[in-house]
Structure 1
Amino acid sequence: MKIRRILATAVAAAVTTPALLLSVTPAFADDKPAAQTQEKPSIAELEKAAAAAKAAYDDAVAAESAAYAALRAFDSDTHPLTAAAKAAETAAALADTAKTEADQAVVDAQAAVDALPETATEEEKSAAATTLTEAESAAATAAGAKAAADAEVVEADDARDDARVAAARAIGEAQKATKAALADKTAADEALAQAKEEEAEEGEDDEACVPETELTTVVTGLPSTVVAGTKVSFNLRVTNGTDRTMDEVLPFAYVHATDRSGLNDIDDLVHLQWSSTSSSTWETVDNEHYMDAISPLKAGAHTDVKMRLTIDASAPAGNGVTFVAGDYFNDNGTCGGTPDLEGYEFLIAAAGTEPGKVDDAKPSTTEPNTSALKPLSGASASPVSGSLAATGSSSATSQLALASGAALAIGAGAVFVVRRRKAGSHA
């Protein structure tokens, strides 16, 4: 397990928790940072939470299954609403037959009246007329009965269809509930697994990782303005400035971006890749923000890692920051890393913008050449580190309006608490 894994978690937390700005302590501090003073839940508590989440998920799965069964039940003739609809249809069919017969009786009665000979008696004429009147009355009654039966069919069908639609919607809600319960269960399981892993590591670790200021990570060639819809290449140099070989060095890189307000995260629109100097293949920086290990990195030596930043054309004008750091591990169990994250800020120009000549984002106080671009302020493309932010004075805080970028570096540095671990436990 890499020693900076907790750092990546802190990065995400810092973006959404600017309060970390108020609780900064230097990285590798002896005391636990204020941001970490809240007592962690115990294994027993996490096991209880995981069990509750599983029970809730099982209930959600059962409810979803019941919702599907309720919808399928409409296909059965024994379902009350289906049976009512079929009964209404049967009654309507009988009413239709009765009306047809009544109408035919009227036709027959009228034909009998029309067929009376001139010699027919008044009594015969009266009887034929009475028969016609009675037939017409029966036909009217049959027509009314048929209309009522047809209305009952419509009402029964509507009731069944409405109930079927409601049942289908209930399935959709049940699916959402199951998905949410699964997410909760997964999170609870992961929290429990991580806690157990950390407990095991803490029990096994016999040596503390240490800060190493002579392990440096420096970015060159990253423009201080990047246009959306373009790719820019730059270089990350990892240098072992100590007098001893580091058996394995893991470069770390993370890019974060917001719109101009600094409040809306657009990380999904920025992409960071890397490649070794000897390869033309580009690899995406993994979800723990690490690249492949440099093994070994000799005393006084350095290695260059080619980097490429891509910003989607749909990205709005805004601000970004690329953080870099490094960790090392030795075969004898010693380990450590750069004490702070180095942050290189850049402006994001809207797609199609012509920014003109721009300087590189360097660890200096030089402001970037923004030409016609108008960022929130005139902050420079300069490095951000935990120690700088801890003093409350950073020349970069205005450019990102940093409830995001600076908090990122500060939070990450503040929470970089190094644990004891055995050699090889970082894999």
Structure 2
Amino acid sequence: MSIPHDKSLDNSITLMKEGYLFIQNRMKKYNSDIFTARLLGEQVICISGEEAARIFYDNDRFQRKGAAPKRIQKSLFGEDAIQTMDGQRHIHRKLLFMSLMTPPQQKLLGQLVREQWQDSVTKWKEKNEVILFEESKEILCRVACNWAGVPLDESDVKERAEDFMNMVDAFGAVGPRHWKGRRSRTKTEEWIEEIIKEVRSGKISAREGSAIYEIAFHKQLDGSLLDSHMAAVELINVLRPIVAIATFITFSALALHEHPEAREKLQSADDAYFEMFVNEVRRFYPFGPFLGARVKKDFIWQEAEFQEGMLVLLDMFGTNHDPRLWENPLQFFPERFNDWDGNLFDFIPQGGGDPAKGHRCPGEGITIEVMKETVAFLVNDIEFHVPEQDLNYSLVRMPTLPESGFIISNITLK
């Protein structure tokens, strides 16, 4: 069987025009979980669905080296970082990240965020309204740095938070947005690298077990320390994703606004329902559009030839909305997770597979705890008004967000 081929000289511009729906549009057109297309001058295989995710996260068949374009490494991940590694080197580095993000640390970060939200209410009384996305960025930046042991002056919080989010915003961008993200990365790497050097020299005291200490003194497989620049890149890969939870928080607020029945249930809900709610936010609303990997060795799947070195894109957004996996996928329904079996390949908002052995995000547990505590704050700690505003979000822009950033006003403690 020959797999469908999207007949176009190059789909790069089409991808930018269709965004999150690029792969899904063609899956529907060809009635297939797989098709090929030309992107940035090379033949690419696009795949979607649970079985596709299982194949994609098979480390014997795929590798990450060479998958992330340099433009994404120079803005989002950092060059030669953990996301581009494979084999024992990747597992060794991943264990470092996993050791920092244990369940007790996840709970701690959630609690720190809840406390920051509560402390913010006083200053909000002086404002007519606040933009939740902007407030989230700053709170998460402050908490992430404090938790990780990174010194951060209060006067610098806004700028540093902006830089972290600029890196994320550059992911699907060309032109000014992309260059803004690259400038922010360069600036942030210089800042963090200097701190790494000062921790190593003893000029800055760091607590053993903190992210900055463990990364500064992490030993590679050959027993050597990471060079100071790579240590900075990896510490940013701890901090940046925490700040990026601001996007999920903004969509959580939108979900509360659009689904008052869920908000009402949350007012008297146990932890299990809070988890179902935030998982449904992560499934339903757009975050990452797709992920890339390169074929490690030739193999055949669905009668298609995957040749060594080929770039393959896994459709995250489409898999999370696959009607074969999710009943009425375009309906927001937290209770669907009541019966979810914890499958690591049908629900992939932050990647698929086992986070300890593969490339699923090690910070997923942090995301869930931070979201739960924020939702609890919005539902049970404060009262607020949602004024008229543009809450639409584009499925073309990658990454996306409600246009207004979600404005709230008349905020008071309950």
TM-score, normalised via structure 2 length: 0.21
Give the strand-richer structure, 1 or 2: 1
TM-score, normalised via structure 1 length: 0.21
Q: Which protein has the larger Cα radius of gyration, Structure 1 or Structure 2?
A: 1
